[in-house]
Amino acid sequence: MSKLLDAIFFDIDDTLFSTTLFAEQARRSAIDAMLRAGLRADHDSALRELDEVLAEFSSNYSGHFDKVVDRLPAEASAGVNKAVIVASGVVAYHDTKWRELKVHDDAYQVLQWLATKNLVRGIISAGITIKQAEKLVRLKLLEFLSPQAIFFTDQVGFSKPNPKLYRRVLQRMSLDPSRCLYVGDNPTHDIDPCNQEGWNTVRVRRSGRYANENGRTKAHFEVRDFFELQQILREQFDIL
């Protein structure tokens, strides 16, 4: 007997597109540009410093490239205006961002297919609101989503992995968790709290930083791409 489904929600990063791969490309481009602007350092050493800065200050910190220059020996930037080096890194990072930030082809096709079904199609994403909203716009997915079902943690008041985040979304949408599906890549932030709240869960194990990690619980389903998700929706939930 097929399960009933009223709504499907998605994570964004490393679910709808490869955040990990994109970030690596953007960081390498930034370091290349800083070296061309006059920074005297070994590429790999500068990149390692950038990775350490990200680990220590988080990806939402605004002074990554300033910190990289500060942490290198003084002679690395001697005789060159630091602001020019930093600006070169910032511009290259954002140029790569606009060029390389693309939804997975299979995710686009399946979301397009889902938009023809009588389902709520939403987003529950952690991160700075404007950054996450910008990703959705640039991924060109808004037309396939239910406008009232897009939730960013800063706006909701709870962040992942707090299960109250998922509970609050259902309260606002008047939805039953047993008739909702959450699709995400992070076993501890996406799958565990949703399982705790009684959702149906799908783990995307395609790539990314969490691909080889496990949480306290297992997702009801695991997929490598969205075509496998589409098959699950057809076979388990009778979405035809």
- Predicted confidence at residue 168, as pLDDT, reads 97
- Average the pLDDT over 170-187 and give the result: 98
The better pLDDT of the pair 58, 119 is held by 119
User: For position 2, what pLDDT does the model report?
Assistant: 76
pLDDT number for residue 238: 95
pLDDT score for 85: 97
| pLDDT tens digits along 118-163 | 999 999 999 889 999 999 999 999 999 999 999 999 999 999 999 9
Cα separations in angstroms, 127 against 88, 131, 133, 201? 25, 7, 10, 21
Quick check: helix, strand or coil at residue 122? strand
pLDDT of 73 reads 93
- pLDDT at residue number 101: 87
- Could you tell me if 94 and 147 lie in one domain? no
Q: How many domains does the chain have?
A: 2
Mean pLDDT of 77-103: 93
Contact assessment for residue 41 and residue 230, using Cβ atoms and an 8 Å cutoff:
no
Q: What is the mean pLDDT of residues 169-179?
A: 97
CB contact set of 157 (below 8 Å; sequence gap of 6+): 168
| Domain end point (choices 100, 119, 150) | 100
Shared-domain flag, residues 138 and 204: yes
Asked if pLDDT for residue 188 goes beyond 90, the answer is yes
DSSP 116: T
Q: What is the pLDDT of residue 208?
A: 79
How much of the chain is helix, strand and coil, in % rounded to 5?
55, 10, 35
Q: In which band, very low, low, confident or very high, does the pLDDT at 31 lie, cut at 50, 70 and 90?
A: very high
Q: Is the pLDDT of residue 11 over 90?
A: yes
Domain annotation covers residue 1? no
Which residue would you say has higher pLDDT here, 62 or 225? Answer: 225
Q: Are residues 137 and 229 in the same domain?
A: yes
pLDDT for 190: 98
**Residue ending a domain, choose from 68, 100, 132:** 100
Instruction: Check which CATH number belongs to the domain holding 133 and give it.
Output: 3.40.50.1000
**Domain range for residue 62?**
21-100
Confidence of residue 172 (pLDDT cuts 50, 70, 90): very high
User: What is the chain's mean pLDDT, rounded?
Assistant: 95
Query: In sequence order, what DSSP letters do the residues of 146-211 get, joined into one string?
Result: -GGGEEEHHHHS--TT-HHHHHHHHHHHT--GGGEEEEES-IIIIIHHHHHTT-EEEEE-SSSTTT
Q: Is residue 67 located within the same domain as residue 165?
A: no
Residue 65 domain-assigned (yes or no) = yes
Kindly tell me if the per-residue pLDDT of 100 is higher than 90: no
pLDDT(195) > 90: yes
- 94 has a pLDDT exceeding 80: yes
